[in-house]
Amino acid sequence: MNVNQQAHLGSLYRQPQPGYPTYPQQSYGGQPTTEVPLPHYGTYNGPMTGYPQTAPPQGPVRALPTSVALSSTGPTISTGRAAYSQYGQGDMQNGPAAPAGQVQRLPVSQPYVQPGVAPPRTDQPASFHQYGPPPTSTPQQQLTTQMAGMQIGNMATSAAPPAGMGYAGSTTSLPPVSGIYTTTGSAPYTPYSSSQGPPSANLHQGLAAASMPQALSTTHPTLSGPPPTQRLPTPQASTFSTPPSSVGYPPTHFPPPPSGAPQSTTMQGPPLPGQALSGPLISQPSHVSPSPAQPTMAGFPPGSSVSGLQGPPPPTQLGQPGQPLQQNGSFGQFRGPQPGYAGAYPGAPNYGSQPSPTGQLPSAPPPPVQKRLDPDSIPSPIQVIEDDRNNRGSDPFVTGVRGQVPPLVTTNIQLKDQGNASPRYIRCTSYNIPCSSDMAKQSQVPLAAVIKPLAILPQDEVPPYVVDHGETGPVRCNRCKAYMCPYMQFIEGGRRFQCCFCSCVTEVPPHYFQHLDHTGKRVDYYERPELSLGSYEFLATVDYCKNNKIPNPPAFIFMIDVSYNAVKSGLVMLVCEELKSLLDHLPREGNIEETVIRVGFVTYNKVLHFYNVKSSLAQPQMMVVSDVADMFVPLLDGFLVNVNESRAVITSLLEQIPEMFADTRETETVFAPVIQAGLEALKAADCAGKLFIFHTSLPIAEAPGKLKNRDDKKLVNTDKEKTLFQPQTSFYTNLAKECVAQGCCVDLFLFPNQYLDLATLGVVPYQTGGSIYKYTFFQVETDKERFLNDLHRNVQKEVGFDAVMRVRTSTGIRATDFLGAFYMSNTTDVELAGLDTEKTITVEFKHDDKLSEDTGALLQCAVLYTSCGGQRRLRIHNLALNCCTQLADLYRNCETDTLISYFAKFAYRGVLSNPTKSVRDALINQCAQILACYRKNCASPSSAGQLILPECMKLLPVYLNCILKSDVLQSGPEVTTDDRAYIRQLVSSMDVAETNVFFYPRLLPLSKVDLDSNSLPVAIRCSEERLSKGEVYLLENGLNLFLWVGANVQQALIQNLFGVSSFSQIDSNMSLLPVLDNPVSNRMRAIIDTFRAQRPRFMKLLIVKQDDKMELLFKHFLVEDKNLNGGASYVDFLCHMHKEIRQLLS
């Protein structure tokens, strides 16, 4: 088969592709991409500013054996000219489409053996980059690799390598010998210590892989370079710092870079030094057993346990000549045009070289350049998402089978509940749990579930049925109190049932008795939701209510900051105006016409103002409480009222508030007394409820909960950094506890112009199950739309008040740890003053006994809550999982998106008590152990130089790197302390779909949009080299929306989209697209609207013109690239993970 023949690829994406919830994906084939002119950063191949262009010293070149030795190298700062591979930078090849009917995820690519193509010559010296001072040598493991199927272009020599440094050039590609595809890498430059002496300058061919000395070093950047004589310690896992890939704040936080500083965070163009991958990357099929087309894996099915590595297998296991092994996955060996991917910027700069932090310029001799690992040969998130959509997006997902792995969160599916809770409610890190704790410890895979108890279902799915058992209440197990569910076993003709959780036998109440059929099922099985469905609700009896009395309907209290900042910014006027109409949209129970929720109003600065809005009054009355140290509510009757009864008085009040405080000069505010006032009001009314607090500044006025400004950037990256995430005082923690006891949930809308200590102010919202919204430098003109949308959605969404959640498990495992926004007074009950439809709780399980493969494991999540209508209810979710004695079965049934969601939340909690460096190291170490365990126990034996990843975890490295580079774990100087605290709290209660797009944003090429259909083009990978100057891209991460416009976009598209005639006339300050009457404008605005509708928070649109000052912010979200804060690129991090895995295996 001819490698360059691409006819069959055009149809790869031409099948309907269901995309993110509610719309299918659109196909587009490899259109020609536009040529990209040079940006203003200076000539691409010219010298970089501020660096002396010294001639490199001469030195020998060291050869590698045929099995190329690679060093795992860290990010390296480079300048100068780099050699191109003969394959185009932006072209990719993803292989033929996968068979349509297949339900399981496919094995990833097999090697392409290109018949009739001679291997490249190996006697060509390689060119190299010039860059800052090279680190002196540290002897480390050599990383060998096998190269297959891809030719490395001959590299021209621009100078000889420095004396004393061995450089391993690219050598002949061997066909793959392990039956798993391999990838090409680049050879490392190796500094030698004086005692070692330079290596031989001869190039050897044909050495056996095993004969290489273990002497290649791992290099990392030294930005402020130590003197060349210093020895560098071996770099640890934590050398990867990270970008604000998670910024959730407006562009105003990003000052223009200092003069002389680089204008970008990413790498482009030809390979950089320090980007070699140590060996081929391999993903083993974990879902499909090997077929005859995979001859080399015969004898090693994924489930078989292979003890230890036995060195490289003999090269006799190649596929038959003339029968190239097909590749389904994303690790192509050659590069043709890839559907949905534009070409690279041909002339883009390498923005790697920045001045050292100390200001001194590096002047050491440059090391040689390396051939970078081809980014298209490593796992692509886009490809995995598309494959899952194509393979699993068309058929309904039926939940009747135990331990069934659901489709990815990015695949839009229809669900049918047949006894297990929908993945919309519960997702697990693995659907096959190890039978023993020893096996779980060996694999290091965390066993966790991300639970979203009140998740909203699509309109075509039925919400949980409500079951009413009358005064007797739900049927439960006598011993463990588990609720009736499909897994309970009825015995003795239906008179008793055996609990599936604790095996206790319980009498069936007379009113619940029913006969069994010939299979042992009750004859009313299908008539009772609790016997046939995975999710349902029970109406709770008085026994389930606080103080054994039916709860009163909840109340909403709106508390508005009327200090100088709030009034001057227009916030007070905006909130009051909006509340007039918003009060018509309070949540209602089912089909009830009128809401039963009562409302109240408070304004505050240094003192609090309560308002009597009783319906019998002609005008509202204000009562001022100035004794904030001892808060009380000055009125009972008339504070909380029915909206419809008091409509006229409320409207009058909302019109008067902005006028009353129009001339205020009061700048100081209180905060804790405001929460105390709302809490006291709810106590007096004996009901649960919600406080909506609109607040602008650090509460420095004399009052309980007074705070001081403790923001200190000098603490970042020190052991004391954790104090920035901790509350200043325990006062708010105690206040939160009181709020939870009353069912008082706090939602906080913040409008700061400077530091306001969100880590402390956020404690009460966080522990009561509330939400925090933040609008830094709020301006009515630009932020009004975002704020009002957030406010509307927040007020209208369904909430369960006074909620308690407990997770029960079958014998053998138990819930041991909980992550999220809630309060716990004991080890089992998760308490939430309010639980809304967007909140998730992440639960980790540990073994306390052995499990059995026959019975599997069961989870039951029960949430007791008061509905918006004042009804006490129990929502139950059940899930059955498989158990396994083979590690291969565990790795075959993991869910990487859920795993990443768990890791992010676990790490973000970890920063409260550990330095961020320790948290990052621990994350890298655990993931390396997971992958090393797979390599050792499940993978086919192969060369140690190969990186082998389980099929369903092949995206673990790229996603993990995104967490490590996030603002919380590694922030740049432009990310404020408040931003980091905000993101930390936000992520802790996100669901899996939100964390997925938050850490790896969605990037769409808009010129590929089909105007005649509702489908979307295939997304592209988040890397600058995927962008084309002639294209417009839309990027979203759940908090931000960017529209990036290339400098060479066609004038017609600019006219249709922006209503101006040229690129230079586009106004980058606008926050919404003009409404123009043409198909392009209509379609683009519709896409933006659908993106916003899918996310819980309104995403403000930012227009980013290429080479504009805003582009720096946009590039933070190109998470596959390295960034200015030292975060590694995907390629570099993969090398690093491989090094870690090999150290564990050796």
pLDDT, tens digit, 9 for 90 and up, residues 1016-1054: 999 999 999 999 999 999 999 999 999 999 999 999 999
Closest CA to 532 of 489, 486, 500: 486
d(CA 311, CA 120): 25
pLDDT tens for residues 1067-1105? Answer: 999 988 999 999 999 999 999 999 999 999 999 999 999
pLDDT at res. 24: 38
pLDDT at res. 504: 96
Closest CA to 342 of 34, 638, 40, 591: 34
Say if CB 135 and CB 191 are below 8 A apart: yes
**Pairing mode of beta strands 641-642, 598-604:** antiparallel
208, with CB counted inside 10 A (0-12, 13-18, 19+), is exposed
Say if CB 949 and CB 956 are below 8 A apart: yes
d(CA 532, CA 524): 10
pLDDT at res. 594: 87
pLDDT tens for residues 496-511? Answer: 999 999 999 999 999 9
d(CA 568, CA 915): 40
Say if CB 673 and CB 628 are below 8 A apart: yes
Is the pLDDT score of 805 beyond 50?
yes
Q: What are phi and psi of 1004, to 5 degrees?
A: -110, 135
Beta partners for 1045? Answer: 1032, 1105
In this structure, how many other beta carbons lie within 10 angstroms of the beta carbon of residue 99?
10
- Tokens describing residue 1117: 């979200």
Say if CB 1027 and CB 91 are below 8 A apart: no
Beta partners for 748? Answer: 693, 772
Within 287-401, residue ranges assigned H as helices are 381-392
Is the pLDDT score of 1122 beyond 80?
yes
Closest CA to 876 of 593, 610, 563, 482: 482
Is the pLDDT score of 823 beyond 80?
yes
pLDDT tens for residues 890-910? Answer: 999 999 999 999 999 999 999
Amino acid at 611: Y
Is the pLDDT score of 814 beyond 50?
yes
Is the pLDDT score of 956 beyond 50?
yes
Beta partners for 498? Answer: 489, 505
DSSP line for 618-674: SS-EEEEE--TTS---S-STTTSEETTTTHHHHHHHHHHHHHHTTT--------HHH
Please name the residue that has the structure tokens 């949980």: 464
Is the pLDDT score of 727 beyond 60?
yes
Beta partners for 561? Answer: 604
Give, to the nearest 10 degrees, the angle between helix 916-937 and helix 956-964. Answer: 170
Task: State percent of the chain over pLDDT 90.
Answer: 62
Rg (CA), the chain: 31
211, with CB counted inside 10 A (0-12, 13-18, 19+), is exposed
Least confident of 194-208, 452-466, 569-583, 811-825: 194-208
**Sign of the dihedral defined by the CA atoms of residues 662, 665, 667, 672, in that order:** negative
pLDDT at res. 214: 33
pLDDT at res. 545: 92
**Pairing mode of beta strands 143-144, 69-70:** antiparallel
Considering the chain, what is the average pLDDT of its residues?
76
User: Can you list the positions of beta strands (E) in 242-367?
Assistant: 281-284
Amino acid at 34: T
Say if CB 144 and CB 68 are below 8 A apart: yes
Closest CA to 456 of 799, 872, 842, 860: 799
pLDDT at res. 903: 98
d(CA 473, CA 956): 45
d(CA 1115, CA 266): 7
Amino acid at 804: V
Q: Model's pTM, two decimal places?
A: 0.72
Enumerate helices (H) and strands (E) in the chain, giving the number of each. Answer: 21, 36
Is the pLDDT score of 181 beyond 50?
no
d(CA 186, CA 1135): 11
Phi-psi category of residue 208: left, alpha or beta, with phi > 0 → left and psi -120 to 50 → alpha: beta
pLDDT at res. 593: 82
Q: Which residues of 1073-1091 are buried (b: 16+ CB within 10 A; e: fewer)?
A: beebeeebbebbbebbebb
Q: What are phi and psi of 604, to 5 degrees?
A: -160, 155
Q: How confident is the model at residue 972 (pLDDT cuts 50, 70, 90)?
A: confident
Is the pLDDT score of 19 beyond 80?
no
Closest CA to 422 of 384, 389, 461: 461
CA dihedral 189, 191, 196, 199 (to 10 degrees): 30
d(CA 811, CA 7): 56
Say if CB 872 and CB 550 are below 8 A apart: yes
What DSSP element (H or E) covers 540? none
Q: Which residue has the higher pLDDT, 190 or 974?
A: 974
Say if CB 1120 and CB 958 are below 8 A apart: yes
Give the sheet arrangement for strand 489-491, strand by strand: 489-491, 496-498, 505-507
Is the pLDDT score of 186 beyond 80?
no
Beta partners for 430? Answer: 894
Q: Which residue has the higher pLDDT, 473 or 312?
A: 473
SS3 114: coil
- Tokens describing residue 716: 């970042």
Say if CB 2 and CB 329 are below 8 A apart: no
Q: How confident is the model at residue 385 (pLDDT cuts 50, 70, 90)?
A: very high
CA distances from 236 to 233, 240, 986, 1128, 1136 (A): 9, 9, 29, 13, 9
pLDDT tens for residues 74-99? Answer: 333 333 333 333 333 334 333 334 34
The CB-based long-range contact list for 1060-1068 (8 Å cut-off, 24+ gap) reads 1063/1105, 1066/1103, 1066/1105, 1067/1103, 1068/1103, 1068/1104, 1068/1105, 1068/1108, 1068/1110
- How many Cα atoms occupy the beta-carbon half-sphere of 109 within 13 Å? 31
Is the pLDDT score of 287 beyond 90?
no
- How many Cα atoms occupy the beta-carbon half-sphere of 687 within 13 Å? 25
pLDDT tens for residues 419-455? Answer: 999 999 999 999 999 999 999 999 999 999 999 999 9
- How many Cα atoms occupy the beta-carbon half-sphere of 1089 within 13 Å? 9
What DSSP element (H or E) covers 489? strand 489-491
Q: How confident is the model at residue 366 (pLDDT cuts 50, 70, 90)?
A: low
Is the pLDDT score of 151 beyond 60?
no
Within 965-1107, residue ranges assigned H as helices are 977-988, 992-999, 1051-1058, 1079-1094
Contacts of residue 826, defined as CB under 8 A and 6 or more positions apart, other chains included, come to none
DSSP line for 930-941: HHHHHHHHTSPP
d(CA 1011, CA 1098): 25
CA distances from 939 to 327, 906, 943 (A): 18, 28, 11
pLDDT at res. 342: 39
Contacts of residue 765, defined as CB under 8 A and 6 or more positions apart, other chains included, come to 746, 747, 748, 771, 772, 821, 985
* Average pLDDT of the segment spanning 670-691: 96
- Tokens describing residue 692: 């909506």
Say if CB 947 and CB 958 are below 8 A apart: no
pLDDT tens for residues 90-139? Answer: 343 333 343 444 444 444 433 333 444 444 443 443 333 433 333 433 33
pLDDT at res. 911: 96
Closest CA to 405 of 427, 374, 421, 384: 427
Is the pLDDT score of 1120 beyond 50?
yes
pLDDT at res. 368: 53
Is the pLDDT score of 827 beyond 70?
yes
pLDDT at res. 369: 54
* Average pLDDT of the segment spanning 1130-1145: 95
Q: How confident is the model at residue 314 (pLDDT cuts 50, 70, 90)?
A: very low
Give, to the nearest 10 degrees, the angle between helix 1130-1145 and helix 916-937. Answer: 60
pLDDT at res. 219: 35
* Average pLDDT of the segment spanning 197-222: 34
Q: How confident is the model at residue 400 (pLDDT cuts 50, 70, 90)?
A: very high
